[in-house]
Amino acid sequence: MSAIELSESLQELVDRAREGAAHAYAPYSQFRVGAAVRGASGQVYSGCNVENASYGATICAERVAIGKLVSAGETVLTAVAVWTGAGEPALPCGICRQVLAEFGKNAVVVVASPSSLRQTTLSDLFPEPFVFRP
C-alpha cells in the first residue's frame, strides 16, 4: 500500500470493505468491489457490488452498504471505504457520490487496492450534489 497512514478506525473500514469484495457477484466484469460505511453510531455496514445481466440493474457496493445503514435505522454516515482487488483504487461513481452525499456530505472517503491507497472527503469529490428544494 501507499505511504498514507490510516487511523485504526479507517483501517477497520478498509478491512471490512476488502472482506465485502470477497462476496461480490461479478460474473460479467469480474471487477469485485467492496465498500464499508460507518454510521454516526459507530456501527460499520459493508456491501459488495451485485451485477445483473441487464447491466443497468447492477448495484454498486457503496449503495449496498448505504442500504444496510438505512435499513438498520441510521441516516448519517461519517466515513466510507471502497476496496477493489486489482489495479488502482476506484473512486465512487457519480450515482454513488450522490447517494453518499444524501447521508454524509462531509464524510471521509478512503479508496484502496492491494497496491495503493487514497484518502479524501466526499465534499472534495462531489462539491455540489443535487439537493431537492420543493
3-state secondary structure 72-130: CCCCCEEEEEEEECCCCCCCCCHHHHHHHHHHHCCCEEEEECCCCEEEEEHHHHCCCCC
Q: What is the percent of the chain with per-residue pLDDT over 90, rounded to a whole number?
A: 95
Overall average pLDDT of the 3-23 stretch? 94
pLDDT tens across 61-109, in order?
A: 999 999 999 999 999 999 999 999 988 999 999 999 999 999 999 999 9
Spell out the domains of the chain, with CATH numbers in brackets. Answer: 8-125 (3.40.140.10)
Q: Which of the residues are catalytic?
A: 62
Report which of 103, 116, 108, 26 is spatially closest to residue 69, judged by C-alpha positions: 103
pLDDT of residue 2: 47
Q: In this model, does residue 3 exceed pLDDT 80?
A: no
Q: Identify whether the C-beta of residue 113 lies closer than 8 Å to the C-beta of residue 86.
A: yes
Q: In this model, does residue 52 exceed pLDDT 60?
A: yes
